[in-house]
Amino acid sequence: MQQDRQAKWTFITNHGLVLSYIFHNPTSTARGIANYIGVTERTTHKIISDLEGAGYIRRRKIGRRNEYSVDPQLPLRHHTKTDIMVEDLLESLAAQVTT
At 94, the amino acid letter reads A
What gap in Å lies between CA 25 and CA 34, rounded to an integer?
A: 13
- What is the four-CA torsion angle of 27, 87, 51, 24, rounded to 10 degrees? 20
Write down the pLDDT at residue 29: 95
Sign of the four-CA dihedral 46, 52, 56, 59: positive
Q: Show pLDDT as tens, one digit a residue, over the chain (99 residues).
A: 555 555 678 889 999 999 999 999 999 999 999 999 999 999 999 999 999 999 999 999 999 999 999 999 999 999 999 999 999 999 888 865 454
CA 82 to centroid of chain Cα atoms: 17
List of residues 6+ apart from 71 with CB closer than 8 A:
55, 56, 57, 58, 86
Helix (H, G, I), strand (E, B) or coil at 80: coil
Write down the pLDDT at residue 93: 84
Q: Hey, what domains does the chain have and what are their CATH numbers?
A: 2-94 (1.10.10.10)
Write down the pLDDT at residue 10: 85
